[in-house]
């Protein structure tokens, strides 16, 4: 009887020892890890789109398989790297981890307040604005009510600063062209006057004198205000500009007492006009033809007409 009891105790003790051994056996670690360095240090380590809370240099655990490591640091472009992790192994990510410093793209416009789109995406920002971007080419579009969309390509290189200053073109301006002749005695085939608002060419003896804003005077070969000539009544004032590209986006000065009522046909810069209706134009003599006996002089002219009264924008 005593022997049987001892055998039972021995069996129970053996089972207890076996149980203790099982409980102290370390579980198999199925994960691996990734050790990451970067230049500069201190970059946040994101794994598969999630911030791990670790920074470089440092390690993060990862399940076996493919992963995307993203390094983020203020003032630098995000750096994405593909890694493949094995169970129980450490993946060393030390090469190709230099972060690219961001450059600056400054976008300004006249007028201000234009919405800025970059590469087809609305940034939600308006001019003027300073963007921090990586080295690349960017397609920028500016949107502003009553102005034509302006699209241009710009570039940031070597983490530098690029500034783009854009003059927006109003949609309330119209481009017009005409040919006017040197004499007041021509017929409709050789009109010497022009209606700025419509671009209509007129002989100043054709019955439309009330519409003529400027005409080409053979006495001195000047372009001048229509009022006071052959029953024409509309008075126009002139101010010579500083350039010869009417599409340069430079606005007209406000009409004052320094404006004249005539300019010579030799003027090569554009000319600002202010007509009897309070409208501004930006006018340039493109070329001169004729001017010899039997072939009267004539001017080919081009201008922008602002349809908004007393608005100087071009």
Residue 24, in any domain of the structure: no
The chain-wide mean pLDDT, for the chain, equals 89
Give the DSSP letter string of 79-109: EEEEEEE-TT-EEEE-SS-BPPBPEEEEEEE
> Model confidence over 209-231: pLDDT tens digits?
889 999 999 888 999 999 978 78
Burial class (CB in 10 A: 0-12, 13-18, 19+), 58: middle
Of 15-24, 95-104, 168-177, the one with minimum mean pLDDT is: 15-24
Query: For position 291, what pLDDT does the model report?
Result: 85
Same domain, 82 and 116: no
Contact between residue 75 and residue 102 where contact means Cβ atoms under 8 Å apart: yes
Size of the chain in residues: 314
Residue 1, in any domain of the structure: no
Same domain, 189 and 257: yes
Same domain, 179 and 296: yes
Asked which of 152, 167, 182 is the last residue of a domain, the reply is 167
Query: For position 230, what pLDDT does the model report?
Result: 78
> Model confidence over 228-258: pLDDT tens digits?
787 899 999 999 999 999 999 899 999 999 9
Over residues 176-188, the mean pLDDT reads 82
Q: How many domains does the chain have?
A: 3
Contact between residue 224 and residue 217 where contact means Cβ atoms under 8 Å apart: yes
Residue 22, in any domain of the structure: no
- Give me the residue label for tokens 């004032």: 237
Of 6-15, 68-77, 246-255, 289-298, the one with minimum mean pLDDT is: 6-15
**Nearest CA among 312, 305, 313 for reference residue 196:** 305
Say if residue 198's pLDDT is above 60.
yes
> Model confidence over 16-59: pLDDT tens digits?
444 444 444 444 568 999 999 999 999 999 999 999 999 999 99
Beta 161-167 vs 32-36: how paired, if at all?
unpaired
């Amino acid at each position: 009887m005593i022997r049987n009891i001892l055998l039972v105790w021995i069996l129970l003790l053996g089972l207890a020892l076996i149980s203790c051994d099982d409980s102290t056996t370390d579980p198999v670690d199925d994960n691996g890890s990734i050790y990451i360095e970067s230049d500069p240090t201190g970059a946040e380590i994101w794994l598969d789109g999630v911030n791990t809370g670790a920074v470089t240099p440092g390690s993060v655990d990862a399940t076996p398989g493919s992963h995307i490591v993203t390094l983020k640091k203020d003032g630098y472009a995000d750096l994405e790297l593909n890694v493949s992790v094995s169970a129980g192994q450490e993946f060393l990510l030390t090469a190709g981890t230099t972060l690219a410093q961001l450059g600056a793209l400054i976008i300004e416009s006249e007028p201000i307040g234009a919405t800025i789109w970059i590469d087809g995406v609305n940034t939600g920002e308006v001019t003027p604005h300073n963007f921090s971007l990586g080295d690349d080419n960017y397609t920028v579009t500016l949107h502003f009510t009553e102005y034509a969309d302006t699209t241009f390509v710009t570039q940031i290189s070597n983490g530098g600063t690029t500034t783009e200053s854009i003059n927006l073109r109003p949609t309330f301006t119209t481009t017009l062209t005409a040919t006017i002749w040197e004499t007041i005695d021509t017929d409709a085939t050789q009109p010497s006057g022009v209606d700025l608002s419509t671009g209509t060419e007129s002989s100043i003896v054709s019955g439309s004198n009330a519409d003529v804003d400027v005409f080409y005077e053979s006495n001195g070969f000047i372009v001048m205000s229509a009022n006071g000539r052959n029953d024409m009544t509309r008075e126009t004032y002139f101010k010579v500009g500083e350039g010869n590209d009417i599409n340069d986006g430079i606005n007209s000065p406000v009409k004052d007492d320094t404006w004249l009522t005539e300019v010579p046909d030799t003027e090569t810069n554009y000319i600002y006009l202010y007509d009897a209706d309070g409208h501004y134009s930006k006018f340039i003599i493109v070329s001169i033809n004729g001017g010899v006996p039997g072939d009267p002089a004539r001017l080919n002219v081009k201008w922008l007409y602002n349809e908004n009264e007393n608005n100087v924008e071009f």
